[in-house]
Amino acid sequence: MKKNLGVMPAVFPMPVLMIAAYDKRSKVNVMNAAWGMMCSNDKIMLIINDEHKTTQNLLKSKAFTVSLADRAHMEVADFFGIASGNKMSDKFERTGFTAVKSQFVNAPVIEEFPVVMECELAEVVNTESFYCIVGKIVNTAVEERVLSENGKVDPAKLEALIFDNFQHGYYVIGEKVGKAWNAGVGLMKKN
């Protein structure tokens, strides 16, 4: 029997995305965002507040990177979510992390995170319900240590963090339990 819990964000899992952009002096700022997802094969959407320092920076530079946070870097990923670049001028420097300029866009690549999408600002959608940044992905760079033998990202090796809206925890994915576009194929046959 289900228990009614009222209105709550009941989507699980949520990604742990590291959004990075330069300010006008090429200073790095990074924020943690869970409200983001792919909206096509080459576009990512981020539902983020326009008051974030990182948001202000990417609107000016018209470029940003989106990295997947992983288990090994959870402490810093969480810090990027609880510290504000508007209030802490040395936010990125405190972490000791390394940023290099993307080869493809005017945005920083945070070296420690294993997967990064390098994006150009494609669109800003501002409605009564949400503020959304859409980025066109121009390149995805991946640490070789998280690739499988077929050259694709191996989720088990990646150990990407996922956010839990229910209890505010971080998790990593577990075992592979099926193959997409295959697990339900048996139901396609008529009896």
Chain segment 23-67, per-residue pLDDT in tens: 999 999 999 999 999 999 999 999 999 999 999 999 999 999 999
Tokens for 1, please give them: 């029997």
Residue 191 has pLDDT above 80, yes or no: no
What is the Cα–Cα distance from 191 to 189, expressed in whole angstroms? 6
What is the Cα–Cα distance from 107 to 90, expressed in whole angstroms? 18
DSSP state of 63: E
In this predicted structure, what is the pLDDT of residue 176?
84
Range(s) of the domain holding residue 119? 14-188
Look at the chain and report how many structural domains it folds into.
1
Phi, psi of 79 (to 5 degrees): -55, -40
* 150 in any annotated domain: yes
* 5 in any annotated domain: no
* 171 in any annotated domain: yes
